[in-house]
C-alpha cells in the first residue's frame, strides 16, 4: 500500500454510521427545549417561574425543534421521489446538525449584541444562518444522493423553508398582537422587523407586516442563491480533474466510499466496475486428500489482490474461498498488487467456480520431496514438490516488502517451471512490512533488484526440487480462530497450520489471516521454533482489517509472545493430526474485471488531491460568499 493509498484509507476513521433516527430526533427536541428555556422570553410570561420555563421550552420546541422534525421526516420521501437514497437516519442527523448550526450562530450573535449593543446583528445572523444551512444541506445531498444541483436543492431547502415560514408567521403575530416570544432576537419587538436596522418601523401595522416579511424573504432567497452558487462552483472545480483524466465524477467515488463505511452499501463497487479492466487470472489449487478420498486441506491461490478494503471487491476473498472449500482451506497471498483488486464482490463467485473446476482437474500423487530453502540477495524461498508440481513461498524478511507485482510473479513462476516443474504455486508470504514509514513502500516491481533476486531464487529452488528424491508423506492440520479480532489485525480465519512430514523432516506452513506483519516478528517465530525442521509464516493480506486502520498489521496490536505461543500450540496439534495423504496441483485461467494498471494509485492520488484542494477552496468560497452577503445586506438597508 502506497502512502497516498494509506492516506485515503485513513479517511475511513472519520466516517461513521449514522445513529438511529429516534436518537437524532430526541437530541433535536432536547436541544430546542434547552435553548427555549434559557433564551426565549415570553412577553406575557407564566404565573410562576416554573410555568414560565415550561412555556419557554414549548416555544423553543416549536420555533427550533419543529423545522428540524419536518426536515427529518420529509426529506427522505421527497428525496426518494426525485431518485435519491437519503435514509431517515441520515436525514435526522443532518437536520440535527443544521439545528446546531443555527443555534450556535444565534447565540454568538446574541453575545455580540450584549457586548456591543448592535441590535440588528442577531436578526442579520438569523437570516444568514438559514441560508447557511440550506447551502450545507445542498452540499451533503449532492455528496450522498444527487448530482444535479437543481434537484438536490428541493430536499435541501426543506429545513430552511419551514423555519422561515414559522418565523414569518410568528413575526406577523407579534406585529398584530404586540405580544409573543423574543425568538432569540432581542427584548424589543422592533428587532423582529426588516426595518429595524434599515429605516425604522413604518406607520401602520399592514405596512410593517408587508415590508418586514417581503424584505426578509427576498433577503433570505438572495443569500441562499449566493451560498448555493458557491457550493455548486466548489463542486464543479473539485470534480473537474476526475472528469478530465478518468471520465468519471469524483463525488461518485466519495459517495460510494461514505456509503460503504457508514451504511455498508455496495455503491462503491458500481464506481469501480465503471473504471475496471478485463484481465486473465491464473487460479491454482493444491489439494491434499486422505486415503479415503476426502479432501483434508486445500491451498487456493487466485492470482489476485484481496482488496481494496473491507468487503468491497475482493477485500474478503480469503474468507470467501475458505467458506467454499472442503476441508481445511488455506488462502495465501498471490503475487499481485492493488491493480489486481476485483471491482465487485460478484466477481468472487466466478473465482470460486474456477477453484472447484481446478480441484476436479487435480491428478493425485502419493509422494513428495522434502522442503528446501534458498536465498538469493533479499529473496528467500521455501519450496516443496508434490508429484510433478511445486509450492513455493517467497519472503523478503528481514527486509520490509509489500506486494510483488503481477508480472514479476509470472516471470518467477516461468523460471521455476523451466527447471522441469509442471505447475508452480508461487505464494507471497507477505510477512514483513513497516507500513508507509520512511517512504519505502517495498513493492517488488519489474526491473528492481528484488525482482531479479526472486527470479534466481525460483530458478535455484526449482532445479533443486526436481533433483530431490520423493517419498510418501503425511499431513496434519490445526486451526484456531483466536481471541483476537479485526481491531487487532486478525481476520475471521484466525491461524491455520499445516505440517507436512516426509521421512524424518517436518515442515510447518503457518497461515495468519491478516495484512502483513510487524518487522522482525516472522524472524522471531522462525528462530524460536523447536518443534519442526522447517517453518514459514504467511499472511492472507485480507483487507477486511483495513476499515479499522489503514495499516493494521499482525503484531501491531497483538502481543508477540502470545502470538508465538498460539502458533506453537497449533503446530503441536497439527503434528498429532498427521496421517498419510495424497496430493496434486492443477491450474486454470479465468477472465475477471480488475482495477487495471495504475488505477489504484490514480484514484488515491485524485482523492487526496481533491480533499487537500477542497479545504483551501472551501475557505475561499466562504470568504467570498460572506463578502457578497454583506454587500447584499448593505444594498437592502439602503
For the chain, 638 residues long, the average pLDDT of each consecutive 10-residue run is 52 60 92 76 46 76 89 94 88 93 84 74 78 90 84 94 83 52 39 34 38 66 86 83 77 73 69 86 97 96 88 86 94 93 90 95 97 97 98 96 94 97 97 70 89 97 97 98 94 97 97 95 96 97 78 92 97 98 97 83 68 69 70 59
Nine-digit cell at 402?
509489500
**Which residues are paired to 333 by β-bridges?**
428
Nine-digit cell at 511?
497461515
Burial (Cβ within 10 Å: 0-12, 13-18, ≥19) of residue 357: middle
Q: How far apart are CA 166 and CA 344, in angstroms?
A: 48
Cα–Cα distances (Å) from 225 to 167, 237, 297, in that order, read: 20, 18, 65
For helices 205-245 and 149-156, give the axis angle rounded to 10 degrees: 140
Q: How far apart are CA 245 and CA 236, in angstroms?
A: 14
Does this model's pTM top 0.85? My answer is no
Reported for 29-33, long-range contacts at CB under 8 A and 24+ positions apart, including other chains, are 29/61, 29/65, 29/69, 31/64, 31/65, 31/96, 31/99, 31/100, 31/103, 32/60, 32/61, 32/63, 32/64, 32/65, 32/68, 32/99, 33/57, 33/60, 33/61, 33/65
Q: What does residue 560 show for φ and ψ, rounded to 5 degrees?
A: -60, -40
**Which residue reads 456509503 in cell numbers?**
259
Nine-digit cell at 587?
491450474
Q: How far apart are CA 235 and CA 284, in angstroms?
A: 46
Nine-digit cell at 546?
483495513
Q: In this structure, how many other beta carbons lie within 10 angstroms of the beta carbon of residue 398? A: 12
**Which residues are paired to 285 by β-bridges?**
300, 586
Nine-digit cell at 412?
518467477
Q: In this structure, how many other beta carbons lie within 10 angstroms of the beta carbon of residue 6? A: 18
Q: How far apart are CA 426 and CA 306, in angstroms?
A: 16
Cα–Cα distances (Å) from 366 to 36, 77, 154, 270, in that order, read: 83, 66, 71, 47
**Nearest of 495, 531, 520 to residue 510 by alpha carbon:** 495
**Which residue reads 424589543 in cell numbers?**
188
Tell me if 321 sits within 8 A of 332, measured CB to CB: no
**Nearest of 229, 70, 71 to residue 139 by alpha carbon:** 229
Our measurement of the distance from residue 245's CA atom to the centroid of its chain's CA atoms, rounded to an integer in Å, reads 23
SS (H, E, C) 162-186: HHHHHHHHHHHHHHHHCCCECCCCC
Strand 505-512 relative to strand 295-302, pairing = unpaired
What's the pLDDT score for residue 327?
95
Q: How far apart are CA 370 and CA 471, in angstroms?
A: 8
**Nearest of 418, 426, 379, 380 to residue 282 by alpha carbon:** 426
What's the pLDDT score for residue 239?
80
What's the pLDDT score for residue 17?
63
Q: How far apart are CA 595 and CA 338, in angstroms?
A: 8
Q: Is 86 helix (H, G, I), strand (E, B) or coil?
A: coil
How long is the chain?
Answer: 638
Q: ∠ CA 103-106-111 to the nearest 5 degrees? A: 125
Cα–Cα distances (Å) from 268 to 18, 59, 253, 256, 265, in that order, read: 18, 44, 6, 4, 8
Nine-digit cell at 457?
531464487
Tell me if 562 sits within 8 A of 505, measured CB to CB: no
Burial 25-46 (b: 16+ CB within 10 A, else e): bebbbebbbebbbebbebeeee
Task: Look at the alpha carbons of 366, 371, 372, 376 in this order and tell me if their dihedral is positive or negative.
Answer: positive
Q: Is 247 helix (H, G, I), strand (E, B) or coil?
A: coil
Tell me if 228 sits within 8 A of 153, measured CB to CB: yes
Identify the helix (H) or strand (E) that includes residue 279.
strand 277-290
- Within 13 Å and on the Cβ side, how many CA atoms surround 625? 25
Strand 495-502 relative to strand 471-480, pairing = antiparallel
Strand 579-594 relative to strand 471-480, pairing = antiparallel
What's the pLDDT score for residue 549?
66
Q: What does residue 548 show for φ and ψ, rounded to 5 degrees?
A: -85, -45
What's the pLDDT score for residue 188?
38
Helices (H), 468-592: 521-527, 560-576
Cis peptide upstream of residue 595 (ω within 30 degrees of 0) = no
Amino acid at each position: 500500500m502506497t502512502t497516498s493509498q494509506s492516506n485515503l484509507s485513513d479517511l475511513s476513521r472519520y466516517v461513521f454510521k449514522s445513529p438511529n433516527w429516534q436518537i437524532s430526533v430526541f437530541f433535536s427536541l432536547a436541544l430546542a427545549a434547552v435553548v427555549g428555556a434559557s433564551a426565549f422570553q415570553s412577553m406575557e410570561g407564566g404565573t410562576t417561574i416554573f410555568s414560565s420555563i415550561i412555556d419557554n421550552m414549548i416555544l423553543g420546541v416549536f420555533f427550533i425543534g419543529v423545522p428540524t422534525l419536518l426536515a427529518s421526516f420529509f426529506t427522505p420521501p421527497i428525496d426518494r421521489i426525485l431518485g435519491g437514497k437519503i435514509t431517515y437516519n441520515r436525514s435526522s442527523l443532518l437536520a440535527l446538525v443544521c439545528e446546531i448550526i443555527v443555534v450556535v450562530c444565534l447565540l454568538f450573535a446574541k453575545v455580540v449584541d450584549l457586548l456591543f449593543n448592535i441590535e440588528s446583528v442577531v436578526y442579520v445572523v438569523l437570516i444568514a444562518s438559514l441560508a447557511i444551512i440550506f447551502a450545507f444541506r445542498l452540499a451533503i445531498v449532492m455528496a450522498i444522493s444527487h448530482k444535479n444541483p437543481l434537484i438536490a436543492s428541493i430536499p435541501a431547502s426543506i429545513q430552511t423553508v419551514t423555519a422561515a415560514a414559522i418565523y414569518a408567521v410568528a413575526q406577523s403575530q407579534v406585529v398584530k398582537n404586540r405580544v409573543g416570544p423574543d425568538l432569540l432576537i432581542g427584548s424589543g419587538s422592533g428587532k423582529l422587523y426588516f426595518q429595524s436596522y434599515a429605516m425604522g418601523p413604518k406607520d401602520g401595522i399592514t405596512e410593517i407586516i408587508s415590508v418586514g416579511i417581503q424584505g426578509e424573504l427576498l433577503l433570505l432567497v438572495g443569500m441562499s442563491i449566493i451560498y448555493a452558487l458557491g457550493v455548486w462552483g466548489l463542486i464543479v472545480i473539485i470534480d473537474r480533474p476526475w472528469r478530465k483524466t478518468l471520465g468519471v465524477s469524483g463525488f461518485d467515488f466519495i459517495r460510494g466510499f461514505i456509503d460503504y463505511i457508514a451504511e455498508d452499501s455496495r455503491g462503491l463497487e458500481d464506481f469501480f466496475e465503471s473504471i475496471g479492466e478485463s484481465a486473465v487470472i491464473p487460479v491454482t489449487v493444491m489439494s491434499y486428500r486422505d486415503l479415503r478420498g476426502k479432501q483434508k486441506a486445500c491451498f487456493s491461490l487466485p492470482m489476485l489482490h484481496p482488496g481494496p478494503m473491507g468487503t468491497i471487491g475482493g477485500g474478503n476473498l480469503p474468507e470467501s474461498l475458505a467458506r467454499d472449500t472442503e476441508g481445511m482451506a488455506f488462502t495465501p497471498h498471490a503475487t499481485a498488487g492493488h491493480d489486481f483488486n476485483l471491482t465487485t464482490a460478484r466477481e468472487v463467485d466466478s473465482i470460486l467456480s474456477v477453484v472447484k473446476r481446478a480441484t476436479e482437474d487435480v491428478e493425485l500423487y502419493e509422494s513428495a520431496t522434502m522442503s528446501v530453502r534458498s536465498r538469493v540477495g533479499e529473496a528467500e524461498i521455501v519450496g516443496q514438490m508434490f508429484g510433478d508440481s511445486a509450492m513455493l513461498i517467497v519472503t523478503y524478511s528481514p527486509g520490509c516488502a509489500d506486494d510483488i507485482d503481477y508480472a514479476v510473479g509470472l516471470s518467477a513462476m516461468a523460471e521455476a517451471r523451466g527447471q522441469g516443474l509442471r505447475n508452480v504455486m508461487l505464494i507471497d508470504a507477505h510477512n514483513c512490512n513497516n507500513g508507509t514509514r520512511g517512504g519505502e513502500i517495498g513493492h517488488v516491481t519489474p526491473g528492481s533488484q528484488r525482482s531479479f533476486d526472486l527470479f534466481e531464487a525460483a530458478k535455484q529452488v526449482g532445479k533443486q526440487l526436481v533433483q530431490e528424491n520423493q517419498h510418501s508423506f503425511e499431513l496434519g492440520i490445526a486451526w484456531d480462530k483466536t481471541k483476537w479480532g479485526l481491531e487487532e489485525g486478525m481476520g475471521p480465519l484466525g491461524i491455520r497450520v499445516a505440517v507436512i512430514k516426509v521421512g524424518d523432516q517436518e515442515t510447518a506452513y503457518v497461515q495468519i489471516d491478516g495484512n502483513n506483519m510487524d518487522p522482525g516478528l516472522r524472524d522471531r517465530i522462525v528462530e524460536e521454533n523447536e518443534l519442526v525442521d522447517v517453518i514459514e509464516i504467511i499472511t492472507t493480506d485480507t483487507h477486511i482489517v483495513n476499515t479499522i486502520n489503514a495499516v493494521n498489521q499482525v503484531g501491531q496490536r497483538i502481543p508477540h509472545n502470545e502470538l508465538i505461543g498460539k502458533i506453537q500450540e497449533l503446530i503441536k496439534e497439527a503434528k498429532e493430526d498427521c496421517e498419510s495423504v495424497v496430493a496434486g496441483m492443477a491450474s486454470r485461467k479465468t477472465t475477471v474485471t480488475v482495477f487495471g494498471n495504475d488505477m489504484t494509485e490514480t484514484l488515491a492520488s485524485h482523492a487526496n488531491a481533491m480533499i487537500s484542494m477542497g479545504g483551501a477552496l472551501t475557505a475561499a468560497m466562504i470568504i467570498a460568499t460572506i463578502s457578497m452577503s454583506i454587500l447584499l445586506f448593505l444594498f437592502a438597508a439602503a
